[in-house]
Amino acid sequence: MHDQQTILITGAAQRVGLHCARRLAAYGYRVLITCRRPRPEWQDHPLDGVEVLLADFSSVEGIQQLVDTLQSRQIRLRALIHNASVWLDDQDSAAALQQMFMVHMQAPYLLNLACAELFDPDVTGDIIHISDHVAQRGSARHIAYSATKAGLESLSRSFAASLAPRIKVNAIAPALIMFNEGDSAAYREKALAKSALGIEPGPEVVYQSIRYLMDNPYVTGTCLDLNGGRNLK
């Protein structure tokens, strides 16, 4: 059906990214994921059908090393999913903004510029940027995070214009997808009340969104707002 086409997902060592990687691998794609360091649990439970590439997005050199690896191995991508994300508080303002800029904007920018050599020239490709619902409305408490995610969405629109028609470029902006284990009952109740649907949907909805964007040949330059109706509250 897709003859072992390759999908690269950045920052997919856990949670939503790893779920999507496993689902795409189960569907039959060859899946590569990046992470900064291997997870101890992979020793006993290897990632079936998912290959791990170590990559450090904190420097231009680290990002370029990943590009060099992909080019030297002559990887031909069907899709590139920018899932890598960093959440830092604004307290350490200069360092926090710089680190989130590198991950949310610099890495996608440089990887996308390398697209001409990374994507299969015979197939319409997809680049998908995983943003955040907060980027569309701003945040008084998380200014740097919101700003760099908004920059990621802007990159998505610009690359959609420059890479069409060979590569479609879109973004997904999730709100609450899944809680962390340590989240309190009070926090969960407050978070759920922010959306009209009031549920914790789980990572499958992100996978479904990815598949929609990949499977639809007539969508580019858009942002899929995956928020359960937060805009209605």
Cα 76 to Cα 119: distance, rounded to the nearest angstrom: 5
> Residues 142-198: pLDDT tens digits?
899 999 999 999 999 999 999 999 999 999 999 999 999 999 999 999 999 999 999
3-class DSSP string for the chain: CCCCCEEEECCCCCHHHHHHHHHHHHHCCEEEEEECCCCHHHCCCCCCCEEEEECCCCCHHHHHHHHHHHHHCCCCEEEEEECCCCCCCHHHHHHHHHHHHHHHHHHHHHHHHCHHHHECCCCCEEEEEECCHHHHCCCCCCHHHHHHHHHHHHHHHHHHHHHCCCEEEEEEEECCCCCCCCCCHHHHHHHHCCCCCCCCCCCHHHHHHHHHHHHCCCCCCCEEEECCCHHHC
pLDDT at 113 over 90: yes
Q: What value does the mean pLDDT take over residues 48-69?
A: 95
One-letter amino acid identity for 114? Answer: A
| Residues marked as catalytic | 145
Q: Look at residue 43 and tell me whether its pLDDT is greater than 80.
A: no
Where does the pLDDT of residue 3 fall: very low under 50, low under 70, confident under 90, or very high at 90 and above? Answer: low
**Binning pLDDT at 50, 70 and 90, where does residue 1 land?**
very low
Average pLDDT, the chain: 94
Judge if pTM exceeds 0.85: yes
Each domain of the chain, given as residue ranges in start order, spans 6-232
pLDDT score of 201 more than 80: yes
Residue range 6-232, CATH number: 3.40.50.720
The residue-averaged pLDDT of 114-139 equals: 94
The average pLDDT across 110-127 equals 94
How far is 229 from 145, CA to CA, in rounded Å?
22
pLDDT of residue 91: 74
pLDDT for the residue numbered 87: 92
Contacts with 101 (C-beta within 8 Å, 6 or more apart), sequence order: 148, 151
